[in-house]
Structure 1
């Protein structure tokens, strides 16, 4: 195709150990596992620091006041934030009948579009299977476009052949990465990149540049491809909404659970200290304090792990159309 406009023939791949590790940390990894890694790092830091004498946790240290005031107030504040997030999620699921009908109507209209282009009686309810159907139909329509151009009388532009091949490969790359019955966030990962935007622009360019030279059949296939790319763009944003709502609802629950445990441990560690002495042998204090701090920071570690993913998804899905901010484009280059 022209150097000015090209298709994206594959979704983004994560290569290299460093990039994979970062991808796992901020997006693909289980959030509890990510939080466990953060907590382990904190426990290890305090265990080593107290062992070598860098940090003091003995009877005459300031550890008691830290557990009695700073950690308790911090835990209560974090739990309050989690409950506020829960209220925000609840506000998103409420609405008047008219608003709910509008939401339902928009979702059903998207499904009708895909069903019509796929020539199916119904489309799957499973997000992964739905996106797989869109991608498979996109590949099929691209192949039909190539066939229609080959069967047309006279020469046809080579740019259209390149375009059809690129769109078909793009659909195949999505299909290869989709697994049925997987979590919405894993489905969303596949289409987080800006490839759909490049392909929408390429479709517009092909239509404007060669539309008058294409047969009716080829024009119809081009329209179907454009519609399916729009479906991917809308599906991407819709899955983002569902994924973030699920994550934040889960976050509020786990922070409430671990926040209560962290509060109890903070109080318990504060009561271990007496004036000038402790209730346990002093040699065990570094281990007890390190593990206790690990329990106390668990709610914060969970909060950070979920914020990592929410911020990454929000940044990479900031655009719903072919206008892509430079920062988002740089992620895919």
Structure 2
């Protein structure tokens, strides 16, 4: 096969503690847990500064006005933004009967093509099981292509054999990493890389370079592989839509809850301060101040945690087909 065209025999893997930690932070981790880590980092940052007097938090400081005005207005603004996002999500799920029928027809067409290639009576409804069926069928069709090429007269082209082996390994690697009944975002993670695009390009190369030397059986298997790779490209975009809609719906709800708590905390902390004293012992004020700041910034950390994942998914799913931006390849 050409030096510039090759198959991707495996989906990407996350290796090393730094990569795993980064992956957990921006994509794989539970968003509430990520938000909790960010809140803990904020508290850990402010406590020593307040404890050793780097920050002025006494009765004569600006802490009271900060809690009473700036943080309250910031919390209200953030909650408003989250609710606006919720309205945007709702607008995406509405549609006329014609639009909804078109969406349903497209989904049924995709499921029907996969079902025919797999030889099944019905395609599964669970996203993980559906992608698993696509991957298993892809590996099976690649094995059939390899067998058809081996049995061809005149000897098989070595490049086609390598192609079939690479595609089969790619399908098997997807199957190995998928867990049934898992969250959509976890299913999406498996096919978030650019491997599908490399394999689509390799399929195009094999068809144009060796298509006239393949038997009808091998050509049919190559058509099925091409269609299944296209199904992976479409499926990952559809799963991206579902995942982001679910995340933004959860985001608006969690920000509304945490925003109410943050607002109450801001008011409470503002009332702790008197003109010349505070209502808590001075030795406890650094702890109260640091924990209060952590509670107040909780809606922001929730927002950041969900934006991390949304931005990461959007960055890695820019392209629907074999056109892959350089930034996505470098990631």
TM-score normalised per structure 1? 0.99
C-alpha displacement of 1:76: 0.1
Structure 2 partner of 1:257 = 257
Root mean square deviation of aligned Cα = 0.6
Question: In the aligned structure 1, how far is the partner of 2:155 from the partner of 2:117?
Answer: 28
Structure 2 partner of 1:53 = 53
Structure 1 partner of 2:280 = 280
Question: In the aligned structure 2, how far is the partner of 1:165 from the partner of 1:150?
Answer: 12
SS at match of 1:274: coil
Larger displacement relative to structure 2 (136-145 or 50-59): 50-59
* Alpha-carbon displacement from aligned partner over 1:93-125 (angstroms, at most 9, x marks no partner): 000000000111111100001000000000100
Question: In the aligned structure 2, how far is the partner of 1:278 from the partner of 1:103?
Answer: 61
Structure 1 partner of 2:78 = 78
C-alpha displacement of 1:276: 1.3
C-alpha displacement of 1:151: 1.2
Question: In the aligned structure 2, how far is the partner of 1:52 from the partner of 1:273?
Answer: 20
List runs of 5+ in structure 1 lacking aligned partners: none
Structure 1 partner of 2:216 = 216
Structure 2 partner of 1:312 = 312
C-alpha displacement of 1:2: 2.6
Question: In the aligned structure 1, how far is the partner of 2:107 from the partner of 2:53?
Answer: 61
Question: In the aligned structure 2, how far is the partner of 1:37 from the partner of 1:27?
Answer: 14
SS at match of 2:197: helix
C-alpha displacement of 1:281: 1.4
Question: In the aligned structure 2, how far is the partner of 1:77 from the partner of 1:224?
Answer: 52
Structure 2 partner of 1:235 = 235
Structure 1 partner of 2:129 = 129
Question: Aligned pair 1:295/2:292, yes or no?
Answer: no
Structure 2 partner of 1:197 = 197
* Alpha-carbon displacement from aligned partner over 1:52-100 (angstroms, at most 9, x marks no partner): 1111111111100000000000000000000000000000000000000
SS at match of 2:113: helix
Structure 2 partner of 1:139 = 139
Structure 2 partner of 1:13 = 13
Structure 2 partner of 1:38 = 38
C-alpha displacement of 1:217: 0.1
List runs of 5+ in structure 2 lacking aligned partners: none
* Alpha-carbon displacement from aligned partner over 1:194-222 (angstroms, at most 9, x marks no partner): 00000000000000000000000000000
* Alpha-carbon displacement from aligned partner over 1:270-289 (angstroms, at most 9, x marks no partner): 01111111112122111111
Question: In the aligned structure 1, how far is the partner of 2:201 from the partner of 2:273?
Answer: 67
Question: In the aligned structure 2, how far is the partner of 1:16 from the partner of 1:281?
Answer: 46
Question: In the aligned structure 2, how far is the partner of 1:326 from the partner of 1:150?
Answer: 37
C-alpha displacement of 1:309: 0.2
SS at match of 1:248: helix
Question: In the aligned structure 1, how far is the partner of 2:11 from the partner of 2:146?
Answer: 21
Question: In the aligned structure 1, how far is the partner of 2:239 from the partner of 2:57?
Answer: 48
Question: In the aligned structure 1, how far is the partner of 2:167 from the partner of 2:100?
Answer: 35
SS at match of 1:23: helix
* Alpha-carbon displacement from aligned partner over 1:183-241 (angstroms, at most 9, x marks no partner): 00000000000000000000000000000000000000000000000000000100000
Question: In the aligned structure 2, how far is the partner of 1:2 from the partner of 1:41?
Answer: 50
Structure 2 partner of 1:69 = 69
Question: In the aligned structure 2, how far is the partner of 1:282 from the partner of 1:61?
Answer: 13
Correspondences of 1:161-180 after superposition (within 5 Å):
161-180=161-180
C-alpha displacement of 1:4: 2.4
